[in-house]
């Protein structure tokens, strides 16, 4: 990946089974403005899309564990609250709750003197359409009561690129805005709103209709040359988005037909990675 921006550091690493890890660090306000990202660290793990992920499951689990461990830098005594954001009743939006539901919680056991480990708690606050309460407000209340040293928020994402759906896991230390990908952004969940470090883990499970249409248009062959080459991918996307802004459901998002398998597999991998980092000796420091 090319980098000509001051205040941005990019490192890339390719692992077995075609897993690619890209770490972007944004350190200045100017760089943050150019990239439209807050100052912070951003890790993207890219991997092949396949239903049978048994061959790469272990490698991806280790890669995600290492990425989480590297970005969080937890102390052994730090307690962590894991938050699964999303609607469990909607398959494409259930990644957060499904992942949080597989995290090994220990706080209640520690308080009863039954185990000796890091304090880990987990909640699934639902979505504003179910509760009538902004997700950030619910998390703020829990943080105030539980007083964790760090928060991990997990959410399904809406991708702007078709080839990123179910083939990437994104990790950042700058928090997230629930609903931002589908145009209903709420209060941001970050260190400023919660008062403790916040780490976000997301997996794109849907893609914008306009992006799918633009990809198809760009691939059209015109005299042996693709439309994308003739006009430019960015210009095609702009034209499609403009033409679809008044179309009924033109702002809809699409999920993969095998979304159930994707969410089940990737939620298991991310939950396993979180458990490894928070509770396993090899990742404790």
* Boundaries of domain holding 158: 8-283
Q: What is the mean pLDDT of residues 112-117?
A: 88
Q: Which of 70, 92, 220 is nearest to 166 (CA)?
A: 92
Residue 223: inside a domain? yes
**Axis-axis angle for helices 54-72, 259-279 (nearest 10):** 50
Residue 3: inside a domain? no
32 against 238, higher pLDDT: 32
Q: What is the mean pLDDT of residues 253-272?
A: 91
Total domains, the chain? 1
pLDDT of residue 48: 86
| 71 alpha carbon, distance to own chain's centre | 14
Mean pLDDT (the chain, rounded) = 88
Where residue 150 falls among pLDDT bands split at 50, 70, 90? very high
Residue 1: inside a domain? no
Write the CA distances from 281 to 116, 118, 273, 284, 285, integer angstroms. Answer: 12, 11, 13, 5, 8
Residue 201: inside a domain? yes
135 against 184, higher pLDDT: 135
Residue 100: inside a domain? yes
Confirm if 207 and 161 have CB atoms less than 8 A apart: yes
73 against 185, higher pLDDT: 73
Task: List residues bridging with 202 in a β-sheet.
Answer: 155, 170
Instruction: Report whether pLDDT(173) > 80.
Output: yes
To the nearest 10°, report the CA torsion of 68, 73, 78, 79: -20
- pTM of the model as a whole: 0.88
Where residue 263 falls among pLDDT bands split at 50, 70, 90? very high
Confirm if 67 and 171 have CB atoms less than 8 A apart: yes
> Which range is least confidently modeled, 86-100, 210-224, 260-274?
210-224
Q: What is the mean pLDDT of residues 26-43?
A: 93
Instruction: Report whether pLDDT(51) > 80.
Output: no
Residue 21: inside a domain? yes
Task: List residues bridging with 21 in a β-sheet.
Answer: 13, 45
71 SS3 class: helix
Tokens standing for 54?
């048994």
Residue 103: inside a domain? yes
Dump pLDDT digits (tens) for 71-100. 998 988 999 999 999 999 999 999 999 999
Residue 166: inside a domain? yes
The CATH number assigned to the domain holding 124 equals 3.40.50.1450
pLDDT of residue 98: 97
């Amino acid at each position: 990946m090319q980098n000509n921006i001051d205040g941005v550091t990019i490192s890339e690493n390719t692992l077995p089974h075609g897993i690619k890890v890209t770490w972007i660090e944004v350190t200045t306000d100017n760089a943050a403005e150019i990239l439209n990202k807050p100052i912070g660290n951003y890790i993207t793990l890219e991997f092949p899309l396949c239903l049978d992920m048994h061959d790469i499951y272990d490698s991806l689990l280790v890669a995600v564990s290492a990425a989480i461990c590297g970005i969080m830098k937890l102390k052994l005594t730090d307690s962590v609250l894991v938050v699964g954001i999303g609607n469990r009743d909607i398959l494409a939006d259930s990644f957060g709750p499904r992942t949080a539901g597989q995290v090994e919680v220990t706080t209640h056991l520690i308080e009863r003197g039954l185990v000796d480990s890091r304090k880990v708690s987990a909640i699934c606050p639902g979505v504003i359409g179910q509760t009538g309460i902004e997700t950030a407000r619910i998390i703020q209340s829990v943080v105030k009561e539980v007083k964790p040293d760090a928060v991990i928020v997990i959410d399904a994402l809406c991708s702007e690129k078709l080839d990123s759906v179910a083939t990437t896991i994104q990790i950042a230390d700058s928090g997230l805005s629930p609903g931002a990908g589908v145009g209903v952004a709420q209060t941001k969940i970050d260190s400023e709103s919660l008062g403790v470090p916040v780490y976000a883990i997301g997996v794109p499970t849907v893609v914008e209709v306009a992006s799918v249409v633009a990809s198809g248009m760009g691939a059209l062959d015109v005299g042996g040359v693709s439309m994308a080459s003739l006009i430019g991918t960015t210009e095609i996307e702009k034209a499609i988005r403009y033409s679809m802004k008044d179309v009924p459901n033109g702002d809809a998002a699409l999920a993969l037909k095998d979304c159930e398998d994707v969410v089940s597999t990737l939620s298991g991998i991310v939950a396993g990675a979180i458990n490894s980092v928070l509770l396993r000796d090899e990742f404790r420091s």
